[in-house]
Amino acid sequence: MERETLRAVERMHSEGATYSEIARRLSIPPNTVRYNLLPECREKHSEWARRDYEKNGDAIRKRTAARYITHREEINAKIRADRKANPERYRLQERRKYLKHGEEIKARVRSYRTANANKKSEWEAKRRAAKAGAIVGITAERRSEITEIYRQARERKTVRCYLCGEAIPKGQRNVDHIIPLSKGGEHRPSNLAVCCGKCNRRKADKLPEEVGILI
C-alpha cells in the first residue's frame, strides 16, 4: 500500500469509519484495510506467507524473477523514488540487515571480490584514468585547495560523514566525489566531501539523488 493511502486509512479509522466504509471510499479490498490496521492480521498473513514459501519457494522465486524481467524499469523506478523519499528508513533497514546477517554479507563480498578480481582492477584503472583526465588543466590554486581537503580528512580531530553524519575515526576516512567522475563530476573542491567507508561503498558511483541526497 502506498504511504499516502495508508495515511488516509489511518485518518479515516481514527475518525470512526468502519473497515467497509474505508475500503469503499478508497476503492481497496476490505482485507487490505484490516491488514494495515490490525497487527494480528499482519502476523497471521506473515505466518501464512512463511509456510507458503517453505512449500512453494521455487515456484514463487520463478514468478518473482519473471515479473521483474517483464517490469524491470517500472519496478526500479518505484524503488528509486521510494529511496529518495525515505532515505532514513532505508538506512535503518540496511543497518538492521547488517546486524543480523553481517558475517554472511562479508562472506559474500569476499567471495565476489575473489571471483571478480579482474573486474575490480579494470574498474580501478578506469577510475584512475577518469581522475587523471579531470586533473588536466587544473590551476595551482585549485590543486592546493584539493590537497588541503585531503590533509584535513587525514588529520582533523573530528570529521563527520557527509552522508550519514556519523563521526569518522582517523584511518577510516574517504574523500568522495559527490558527483562521480564516471557520471561527469569534476575533480574540484566543491565536488569533494569526506565520508565513512560504509557510506562510500553504499554510494559507489551513484548520483546524490540516487541515494537520497539533495545538493
Residues contacting residue 166 through CB under 8 Å, at least 6 positions apart: 160, 196
Instruction: For the chain, list the domains and their CATH numbers.
Output: 3-85 (no CATH), 137-211 (1.10.30.50)
Contact assessment for residue 158 and residue 172, using Cβ atoms and an 8 Å cutoff: no
pTM listed for this prediction = 0.42
Angle (CA) 186 192 194, round 5°: 155
Q: Scanning the structure block, which residue is given the C-alpha cell 571478480? A: 116
Which of 124, 144, 121 is closest to 132 using CA atoms? 124
pLDDT at 66: 93
Q: What is the pLDDT of residues 42-96, one digit of tens each?
A: 888 889 999 999 999 999 999 999 999 999 999 999 888 888 888 888 888 888 8
